[in-house]
Each structure stands twice: as structure tokens, then as C-alpha cells.
Amino acid sequence: MQRMRALRKTSPDKAEIQQVPVPEPAADQVLLQVSAAALCGTDLHIYRWNAWARGAGIQLPRIMGHECCGEVVAVGENVFGLAIGDKVAVETHLPCGQCLQCRIGEQHICNNLKLFSIHTDGCFAEYTTVPEICARKIPQEISSRVGAIMEPLGTALRSVLESKVAGATVLVTGCGPIGLFAVASASTLGASRILASDVSAPRLEIAGRMGAHRILDPGREDPVEAVLAETGGYGADVVIEASGSITAIQQAFRCLRKGGRVALVGLPSMPLELEIGKAVVFKEAKIIGIHGRTMFDTWTRMENLLVSGKLDVLPAITHVLPLDRWQEGFDLALSGTACKVVFEP
Ligand SMILES: NC(=O)c1ccc[n+]([C@@H]2O[C@H](COP(=O)([O-])OP(=O)(O)OC[C@H]3O[C@@H](n4cnc5c(N)ncnc54)[C@H](O)[C@@H]3O)[C@@H](O)[C@H]2O)c1
Ligand SMILES: [Zn+2]
Ligand SMILES: [Zn+2]
């Protein structure tokens, strides 16, 4: 049996590279040779085995990593839409295909949703298997590094698409990978003015390079006052919340103009208080919850924008490392020094 190197979470306090068998694709799966895989906040939660990870239903040992690009090297007997040699990016929401949502075109929020690398082995390895439906064929001109970040990029792009930003003033709160991808997407989709907030100076600097006209650090200035001052006292037309910070979420509604749209992408670790009358009802705020990408309208638009050269996300990739240096990548991400770290097996 052929073997491969894989980064496995083996116990609550340990992750390590191990030699494991190359997986066999099931009838509806493809086997990918991984060309690039990106590190995400979720991987850090699993690595630290925090409360979220403990409650996520992950069975150890588990191969980590879910954001990836690879080449199809084998197909299951029921796979007809992909062939050996195809380049693919992975959609990580694994739908059941049978429930109400799956049948009405909302399979990305399937009622029995499974997640790649949470409920299955992931892609920090030389090879990985994914169901055909989640292996999105991409053109060769999209690089493997960009292919590996299409999953988080798609989430950000969708939040911007659904918020209708053309000609609008957009505030993006949080400039991690998701927020930075939202800044770039808002710029591409015609936002007239983009304000971006973060408490990290290096991330704000990248936001400026990716299209933000005004960066603001809530540690140095009151973000609500700053946004009101920038918008003639009205507030932003659109807020994309990509920090998950409870304070930032509460402030997002105060930064929003009456009748504006808020896309909530960030995931707070605890319930939070919101004065619904003031924040939502009297303001007529339109709240848009975003969980991943639509399958496959978001993917199609994202691919078109990347191929046309209109969407450039490379500044968000701050580090590319061989998988053997995974510890360094995790440490960089945990220290907040890195933005998007990509591993090449
Ligand atoms: N809805 C989805 O489908 C989906 C998918 C992926 C990630 N997420 C969530 O989106 C959020 C962003 O993801 P990420 O990978 O970019 O995470 P990240 O942790 O790298 O980025 C969050 C950023 O917010 C900044 N921040 C913290 N407090 C802030 C404040 N008060 N104001 C402004 N910025 C502040 C941090 O400095 C950091 O740069 C996370 O909460 C993540 O869990 C949601
Ligand atoms: Zn992710
Ligand atoms: Zn379903």
C-alpha cells in the first residue's frame, strides 16, 4: 500500500507529521494530489484543542487542513464529471443531496452538513479524497496558491456580492484573511469608498494595499465616530463584519446608515447583546448571514473575476512554506505576524 506524509492531530495536546496510507477514493470521490493547502483559523482552534474544537465532533486522529488545491490522480467508479489531470479547488461544505435545502438549491447550508477535515480527513497531506461535488474544477491559469484560498475568498466575495456594494461606502471590520478578501472584492465590485478596521497595524497596511481608502484602528480612535465623520454623519451603506469580535459586531450597527446592509461573517465565541430597536428595527438594517459559498454561483463568479485579473488577492498570502515546516506556519499564524499561510506538500 502506498504511503504519504500527513499532518495529523493525534491527541488533544499533539499534532505531528506521520506516514499514513494514501486514501482510496470511494465510488463518488476523487483522489487529489495536493499542490497547495492554506492554514485557517479553524485549524488553529483544532491545533489548540479549544472549547470549540472539543465540541465539534472531531474524531482523533484526524488529518488537519481544509483549504486546498490539487490535481485529480484517481476517480471513483461513479465519478463522471472529472478526469485524471484536472486541477481542482475544494469546497469544504459536504452536502447530503437529499434534504430540503439540498433540493432547493441551498446545499451549502445542507441540513445534514458535514465539513471537510472536521468530519473527514483533511488536506495537510500529500493526497486527500473529496466527493466529486466538492471538487471544483478550475482553469490552469489560476495558480495553486490562489486555488488553495478560493474557499475563504468565496465566503468573503459572497458577503460582498450579497451586500450590493456598487457605488456604496463599505466598512469592513476585521482585516484577517476574510476581511482582506472582502476589501479586495468590494474594490473589484465597484464600492466607491472602502473603510477597513483592525487592531493589527500590519493587517491594516495590507488592507490599504488591497483597496481600502481609509484604515482605522479601534485601539487608537473611536471607530463609530470615525465612520460617522467619514460619511457626513450618516454611517456606511454596507458593513461587512469579519472580525467575530463582540465589540466590533455591536459597533457595526452603530456604523451603519439607516436602511443599510450588514453582512455577518465573523463568528463570536459567545452570545452578545444588541439593542434590536435601535440597532435594527428603527434603522431598518438588513442583516445578511453568510455561511460559506453558494454552490456554485459564488464559485463561478469568483473564477471569472480571478481569470479576468480583476480580483487580486495575493497580498493576503504572507507566507508560503513546505508542509514539513508546518510548526513554523502555525506559530506565525498564532502570533498574528502572518496573514494567510500556504503550505506546499
Ligand atoms: N461565516 C463563514 O462562513 C466563515 C468562514 C470562515 C471564517 N469565519 C469567521 O470569520 C472571522 C474572520 O475570519 P479570519 O480567518 O479572517 O479570522 P482572523 O482571526 O484572522 O481575523 C479576524 C481579525 O479581526 C481583528 N479584530 C479583532 N477585534 C477587532 C475589533 N474590535 N475591530 C476590528 N477588528 C478586530 C483581528 O485583529 C483579526 O485581524 C472569524 O470570526 C471566523 O471564525 C466565518
Ligand atoms: Zn477555512
Ligand atoms: Zn442536504
Mutate to test the pocket of ligand 1, among 109, 175, 200, 243 (most ligand atoms within 8 A of CB): 243
Strand partners, 14: 11
Assigned domain for 38 exists = yes
For residue 16, what is the domain's CATH number?
3.90.180.10
Among 93, 116, 178, residue to substitute to test ligand 1 (most atoms within 8 Å of Cβ): 178
pLDDT at 317: 98
Q: In sequence order, which residues have a C-beta less than 8 Å from that of residue 157 and are 6 or more positions away?
A: 181, 182, 185, 293, 298, 301, 302, 305, 311
Q: Please tell me whether residues 111 and 174 are part of one structural domain.
A: no
Each residue's pLDDT tens digit, 30-47: 999 999 999 999 999 999
- Reply yes or no on whether 300 is catalytic: no
* Residue 8 and residue 143 share a domain: yes
Question: Which ligand is nearest to the Cα of residue 110, counting in written order?
Answer: 3
**Closest atom of ligand 1 to CA, residue 40:** 15
Q: Which residue has the cell 499533539?
A: 14
Tell whether 164 and 131 lie within a shared domain. no
Model pTM? 0.98
Cβ atoms 129, 26 nearer than 8 A: yes
Q: What is the pLDDT of residue 99?
A: 98
Ligand 1 surroundings by CB, under 6 angstroms: 40-41, 152, 155, 173-179, 197-200, 203, 218, 242-245, 247-248, 265-267, 290-292
Confidence label for 1 from pLDDT (cuts 50, 70 and 90): confident
Average pLDDT, the chain: 97
What range does the domain containing 198 cover? 156-289
217 within some domain: yes
Regarding whether 197 and 88 lie in a shared domain, the answer is no
pLDDT of residue 219: 97
By the 10 Å C-beta count (0-12 exposed, 13-18 middle, 19+ buried), 302 is classed as buried
Residue nearest to atom 18 of ligand 1 (CA): 176
In a domain, 232, yes or no: yes
Q: Looking at the structure, tell me whether residues 127 and 179 fall in a common domain.
A: no
CATH number at residue 231: 3.40.50.720
Cell of 210: 488591497
Kindly state whether residue 303 falls inside one of the protein's structural domains.
no
Q: Is residue 296 part of a domain?
A: no
Same structural domain, 145 and 162 = no
The dihedral through the CA atoms of 67, 317, 34, 143 has a sign that is positive
| 82, pLDDT greater than 90 | yes
Each residue's pLDDT tens digit, 287-298: 999 999 999 999
Same domain, 128 and 208: no
Instruction: Say how far apart CA 93 and CA 84 lie, in whole Å.
Output: 23
Q: How far apart are CA 43 and CA 118, in angstroms?
A: 10
Of 106, 198, 215, the one to substitute when testing ligand 1's pocket (max ligand atoms within 8 A of C-beta) is 198
Measured in angstroms, how far is the CA atom of residue 100 from the centroid of ligand 3? Answer: 7
32 in the same domain as 142? yes
Q: What is the pLDDT at residue 344?
A: 97
Shortest-distance atom of ligand 1 to CA 290: 1
- Determine the average pLDDT of the residues in 302-316: 98
Domain co-membership, 165 together with 99? no
3-state secondary structure the chain: CCEEEEEEEEECCEEEEEEEECCCCCCCEEEEEEEEEECCHHHHHHHHCCHHHHCCCCCCCEECCCEEEEEEEEECCCCCCCCCCCEEEECCEECCCCCHHHHCCCHHHCCCCEECCCCCCCCCECEEEEEHHHEEECCCCCCHHHHHCHHHHHHHHHHHHHHCCCCCEEEEECCCHHHHHHHHHHHHCCCCEEEEECCCHHHHHHHHHCCCCEEECCCCCCHHHHHHHHCCCCCEEEEEECCCCHHHHHHHHHHEEEEEEEEECCCCCCCCCCCHHHHHHCCCCEEEECCCCCCCHHHHHHHHHHHHCCCCCHHHEEEEEEHHHHHHHHHHHHHCCCCEEEEEC
Please compute the mean of the pLDDT values over residues 231-244 and round it to a whole number: 98
Of all protein residues, the one whose alpha carbon is nearest to atom 28 of ligand 1 is: 245
Do the domain assignments include residue 300? no
In this prediction, residue 271 carries a pLDDT of 97
Query: Band of the pLDDT at 75, cuts 50, 70, 90?
Result: very high
Distance (Å, whole) CA 199 – CA 216:
8
Average pLDDT over residues 14-21: 98
Q: Are both 161 and 144 inside the same structural domain?
A: no
The β-bridge partners of 196 are 172, 215
Distance 165 CA to ligand 1 centre (A): 20
Q: Are residues 145 and 273 in the same domain?
A: no
Q: How many Å separate Cα 121 from the centre of its chain? A: 18
Catalytic residue (choose from 10, 45, 120, 298): 45
pLDDT at 50: 96
Residue 244 lies in a domain: yes
**Residue 245 CA, closest ligand 1 atom number:** 28
Q: Rounded distance, CA 31 to CA 131, Å?
A: 9
Å from CA of 270 to ligand 1 middle: 14
CA separation for the pair 53, 58 (Å, rounded): 7
Q: Name the band, by pLDDT with cuts 50, 70 and 90, for residue 337.
A: confident
Q: What is the mean pLDDT of residues 306-317?
A: 98
Structural domain count of the chain: 2
Neighbours of ion ligand 3 (CB under 5 A): 95-96, 99, 102, 110
Boundary (domain end) residue, out of 289, 305, 335: 289
Integer Cα distance of 2 and 78 in angstroms? 23
In the chain, the N- to C-terminal Cα span, in Å, equals 20
Distance, in Å, from the CA atom of 171 to the CA atom of 183, rounded to the nearest integer, reads: 9
pLDDT of residue 157: 98
**301 within domain boundaries:** no
Specify whether 256 is located in the same domain as 140.
no
d(CA 48, CA 140): 36
CA of 179 to the centre of ligand 3 (A): 28
Atom of ligand 1 nearest to the CA of 247: 31
Return the ligand number nearest the Cα of 202: 1
Q: For this structure, is 231 an active site residue?
A: no
* Active-site option among 42, 155, 169, 231: 42
